[in-house]
Amino acid sequence: MQPLRIALAQIAPRLGDLEANLARHHELIAAARERGAGLVVFPELGLTGYQLQDLAADVAMGLDDPRLGGLARAARGLSAVVSFVEESADHRLFIAAALLEDGEVRHVHRKVHLPTYGLFDERRFFAPGDVVRAAPSRLGVGLGLAVCEDFWHVSVPQLLALDGAHLLVNVSSSPGRDLASSHEVGLGTAASWRTLMRTYAQLTTSFVVFCNRVGVDESLSFWGGSEVIGPTGAPVFGAPMFEEGLFTCDIELGDVRRERIALPLLRDERPELIAREWDRIVAGRAGLGEDAGP
Amino acid sequence: MSAVGAGQGGPAGGPLFELPEELAIDTGVARRVIAEFVRGQLRQAGFERAVLGLSGGIDSALVAFLVAEAIGPERLLCVMMPYRTSSPESRGDAESVVAALGCASELVEITAMVDGYFGAEGAPGAGGPDALEASALRRGNFMARMRMATLYDRSVTWRGLVVGTGNKTESLIGYTTLFGDSACAFNPIGDLYKSQVRQLAAAMGVPEAVIRKAPSADLWPGQTDEAEAGFSYPVLDRLLFWRIDRRRSVDETVAMGFDRALVERVDRMVAGAEFKRQVPPIAKLGPRTAGVDYLYPRRRPGSARS
């Protein structure tokens, strides 16, 4: 397999300014192409900014929006992952990540886990997605898209890998917090994410691509530090924290096969067992199972 | 608890300040985040310059250093606003900060403004004869609000946003004047405890005399925060950190070694100051009400000053 060059667009979106962010996307897609990238990844809500609140409806796009189509056409010859507010036909708003290939929207992932605690208030403004599915890609391997908090639930990377993803792509707007010198790289959030990425890559024997934004929305500072982790759990590339830029690195997609042959964790997963136990737990929680709690 | 290394010890021999271990921050990351924050706030508002009140104390000195690092000292105006009883030492310390940074500065004496209200030397002012006997608290609050009014006026002439200089400790216990020193367009250090302010100030090269001296509202000679409130900042900071950031209960903090009376007193101070940290409530009457169900970012497309 040819090496794949990944471009991480670690940008600082302008809050609520769809036109300015669109222009920036076009610019960086062109730059990624020039630098020989096969895949370019933008962060969560890179087209709109994160702390939208009531602006969410103003910047929402349907999947047939010509601006999205324009981006898809601009990305022809590449695989591009972009993120925006998606408005469905029945006017629900989702935080979406789309895979653009061959001039069209190839696959859309709607964020399934919307954090609504602490500094987050996403469920107030958005509807959660209901589907976690890997997508085939022109890269010749399955691609699994997830958005930020989706990766704080172990089931999401696991489902994506079992569904055929070799490359797990998480796009994020992770606000930096818990500043303490005792944390790796000085920031609690960054330390947690770094642990998660390595763990998921190793347990799913997949590449993990993490693209996190930088810049400031209101009180929140986003820390960047985008990464690519190999299927052994070893980091392949790390972008600097807090710095805006287009960062590229090369990966060998063949590493996935090598690792899965050497360490057949996915082969040995027991999805039927998990499904059975989950069915029991779900029924129990609904008060239906034999183990129904008080 | 641990102190900073001997390398930062001053001529007086001891360490510059006491830094509780659990509060130690990575100052490089803090500087990076705050510089970006300052630039982001200004850009979103369509401003290029900033103005702040420089008292000679560590909080405003640190903010001056942070803002100068973020946007360059030539875009920062530090306004010194002494009252006639303010300590000359404070003035000297403020001037040493201005000299170290090479930023613009201005002196605005607030004596006439304050005395114009409370009166002076037996002659009543706009506040009436009773105001001659006003308490130190009333005077202190009034001074803080005159400084605020001055800064917001200079904000227009300097064409810069007013930067807040209050720290997390004083905000939590309510040791601030509502619409006075707490008034600002944005605050870069409002989530740092006093001990962390000291750590960052030392890392940024704030003059040592400013870091070393006892924090004071400088309302009367010899006044210090710690004497007035009856606790030391390192102890108070640790207590607030465990109670609030780490969600420890009263009993748990007492078990950690904090004095129960202190814990309960600080709890009351924090609860009593809740109103100072929030936007005043508006009676909900219409379909959409600011802060209730009309929720927009403070700055959005179209809101930047053109």
How do the domains of chain B map onto residue ranges? 48-218, 231-277
Q: Hey, are the CB atoms on B40 and A215 less than 8 Å from each other?
A: yes
Query: A242 contacts in B (CB within 8 Å)?
Result: 32-33, 36
User: Distance (Å) from the C-alpha of residue B245 to the closest C-alpha of chain A?
Assistant: 9
Q: What pLDDT is recorded for position B305? A: 72
Chain B: give the shortest CA distance to residue A116, in Å.
Answer: 16
Q: Is A61 helix (H, G, I), strand (E, B) or coil?
A: strand
Residue A71: burial class (beta carbons within 10 Å; 0-12, 13-18, 19+):
buried
Give the pLDDT confidence score for residue B306 in this predicted structure.
Answer: 62
Question: Environment class of residue B305 by beta-carbon count within 10 Å: exposed (0-12), middle (13-18) or buried (19+)?
Answer: exposed
Task: Please check whether residue A186 touches B, CB under 8 A.
Answer: yes
> Which of the residues A86, A148, A211, A249 is marked catalytic?
A148
A14 touches chain B (CB under 8 A): yes
Cβ proximity of B215 and B226 under 8 Å: yes
Q: For each of chain B's 306 residues, which pLDDT tens digit applies?
A: 444 443 344 445 568 899 999 999 999 999 999 999 999 999 989 999 999 999 999 999 999 999 999 999 999 999 999 999 999 999 999 999 999 999 999 999 999 999 999 999 999 999 999 999 999 999 999 999 999 999 999 999 999 999 999 999 999 999 999 999 999 999 999 999 999 999 999 999 999 999 999 888 887 778 888 888 888 999 999 999 999 999 999 999 999 999 999 999 999 999 999 999 999 999 999 999 999 999 999 888 888 776
- pLDDT exceeds cutoff 90 at A183: no
Q: Does domain B48-218 have CATH number 3.30.1360.120?
A: no
- How much is the pLDDT for B8? 46
pLDDT in tens, A224-279: 999 999 999 999 999 999 999 999 999 999 999 999 999 999 999 999 999 999 99
Give yes or no for a contact between B225 and B234, defined as CB atoms under 8 angstroms apart.
no
Is residue A184 very low, low, confident or very high in pLDDT (cuts 50, 70, 90)? confident
Instruction: Average the pLDDT over A159-167 and give the result.
Output: 98
pLDDT range class, residue A118, cuts 50, 70, 90: very high
Instruction: Say whether A211 is catalytic.
Output: no
Q: Say if the Cβ atoms of B295 and A53 lie within 8 Å.
A: yes
Interface pTM, i.e. ipTM? 0.89
From A1's Cα to the closest Cα of chain B, the distance in A is: 40
* Candidate from B25, B294, B301 with C-beta closest to A16: B301
Q: Give the pLDDT of residue B222.
A: 80
Do the Cβ atoms of A15 and B297 come within 8 Å? yes
- Statement: B231-277 belongs to CATH 1.10.10.1510: yes
| Exposure of A197 in the CB half-sphere (CA atoms within 13 A) | 29
* Band of pLDDT at residue A101, cut at 50, 70 and 90: very high
Query: Which of A21, A179, A189 to mutate: most B Cβ within 10 Å?
Result: A179
Nearest to A242 among B32, B297, B300 (CB): B32
A59, A67 in Cβ contact below 8 A? no
Question: What are the chain B neighbours of A186 within 8 Å (beta carbons)?
Answer: 25-26, 28-30
Query: Which residues in chain A have their CB less than 8 angstroms from residue B300's CB?
Result: 15-16, 55
Chain B partners of A17 at a C-beta cutoff of 8 Å? Answer: 301
Residue A9 has pLDDT above 80, yes or no: yes
> Contacts by B132-141 with C-beta closer than 8 Å and gap 24+?
B136/B219, B136/B220, B139/B114, B139/B219, B140/B177, B140/B217, B140/B219, B141/B177, B141/B180
Cβ-contact A71, A25 below 8 angstroms? yes
Render the burial of A255-282: b for 16+ CB within 10 Å, e for the rest. Answer: bbeebbeeeeebeeeeeeeeeeeeeeee
Please check whether residue A170 is in contact with residue A210, taking contact to mean a CB–CB distance below 8 angstroms: yes
Per residue in A187-229, pLDDT (tens digit) is: 999 999 999 999 999 999 999 999 999 999 999 999 999 999 9
Q: For residue B13, what pLDDT is reported? A: 55
Question: In this predicted model, what pLDDT tens digit does every residue of B7-58 receive, in sequence order?
Answer: 344 445 568 899 999 999 999 999 999 999 999 999 989 999 999 999 999 9
Q: Which domains does chain A have, with CATH numbers?
A: 3-263 (3.60.110.10), 264-294 (no CATH)
Look up A148 and say whether it is catalytic: yes
> Among the options A86, A87, A111, A149, which is catalytic?
A111
Q: What pLDDT does residue A291 have?
A: 56
- CB-CB under 8 Å, B296 with A55: yes
Please tell me the predicted confidence (pLDDT) of residue B42: 95
Chain A nearest C-alpha distance from B84 (Å): 37
Q: Tell me the percentage of chain A whose pLDDT exceeds 90.
A: 93
